[in-house]
């Protein structure tokens, strides 16, 4: 082995080591079930608690990503005399959801976790019932969007309590902000169903 070869091998090994430490992370099981990919973090929250928080955040991320696509589905396919109003309402609601997804995903990152928000992953982890892929009458579309929005808002609210139980007041605060927004969108949708 020449000196040049050894140097090259040593360089490759060092680079590999750096990449392992910097990029790989470690996979952890959560109590709730889903596995999460974690990296080191200087936060004082213990790793087992961060793992649970990242699991919770990724579940909500999947629900919100799915919700946005479902509300868009309603935006595109609602029909009837109130088409214009509902078409615009659903677009407004859908327009807020990427911000919530971003807030949730970046809190997972802050805790040292990998955010999981691809369509392929979300399809397997979302808890929402599928939106019908048909034309939707106004009240049918409103009810479908209302039910799914309410589910996600209430799960985000439940996440506030869970985060507080884990002593992670910042994740509780982040989810409070998300819940406040979801609740407001729910009010806008529900108001159209009032009699
Ligand atoms: Fe549109």
- Which tens digit of pLDDT belongs to each residue from 85-128? 999 999 999 999 999 999 999 999 999 999 999 999 999 999 99
Q: What is the mean pLDDT of the chain?
A: 90
Ligand 1 midpoint to CA 94 (Å): 10
Ligand 1 midpoint to CA 91 (Å): 6
Q: Give Rg (Cα) of the chain.
A: 21
Strands (E) across the chain are located at 26-29, 35-38, 78-79, 136-137
Ligand 1 midpoint to CA 92 (Å): 10
Residue 79 in this model has a pLDDT that exceeds 60: yes
Ligand 1 midpoint to CA 129 (Å): 23
- Here the tokens at position 174 are 């982040």
Q: What are 142-185's pLDDT values in tens digits?
A: 999 999 999 999 999 999 999 999 999 999 999 999 999 999 99
DSSP β-ladder status, 35-38 and 78-79: unpaired
Q: How does 156-174 read in b/e, with b if 16+ C-beta sit within 10 Å?
A: bbebbebbeebebeebbeb
Model's pTM, two decimal places? 0.87
Query: Domains (ranges, CATH) in the chain?
Result: 26-191 (1.20.1260.10)
**Residue whose entry in the numeric block shows the structure tokens 């048909």:** 134
Q: What are 34-75's pLDDT values in tens digits?
A: 899 999 999 999 999 999 999 999 999 999 999 999 999 999
């Amino acid at each position: 082995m020449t000196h040049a070869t050894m140097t090259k091998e040593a360089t490759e090994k060092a680079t590999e080591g750096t990449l392992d430490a910097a990029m790989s992370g470690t996979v952890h099981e959560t109590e709730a079930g889903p596995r999460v990919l974690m990296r080191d973090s200087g936060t004082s929250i213990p790793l087992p608690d961060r793992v649970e928080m990242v699991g919770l955040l990724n579940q909500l991320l999947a629900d919100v990503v799915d919700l946005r696509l479902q509300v868009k589905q309603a935006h595109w396919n609602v029909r009837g005399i109130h088409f214009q109003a509902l078409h615009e309402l659903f677009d407004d609601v859908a327009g807020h959801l990427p911000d919530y997804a971003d807030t949730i995903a970046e809190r997972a990152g802050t805790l040292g976790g990998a955010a999981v928000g691809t369509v392929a992953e979300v399809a397997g982890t979302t808890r929402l019932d599928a939106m019908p892929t048909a034309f939707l009458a106004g009240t049918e579309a409103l009810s479908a969007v209302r039910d799914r929005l309410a589910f996600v808002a209430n799960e985000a609210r439940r996440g506030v309590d869970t985060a507080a139980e884990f002593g992670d007041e910042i994740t509780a605060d982040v989810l409070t902000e998300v819940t406040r927004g979801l609740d407001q969108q729910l009010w806008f949708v529900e108001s159209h169903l009032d009699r």
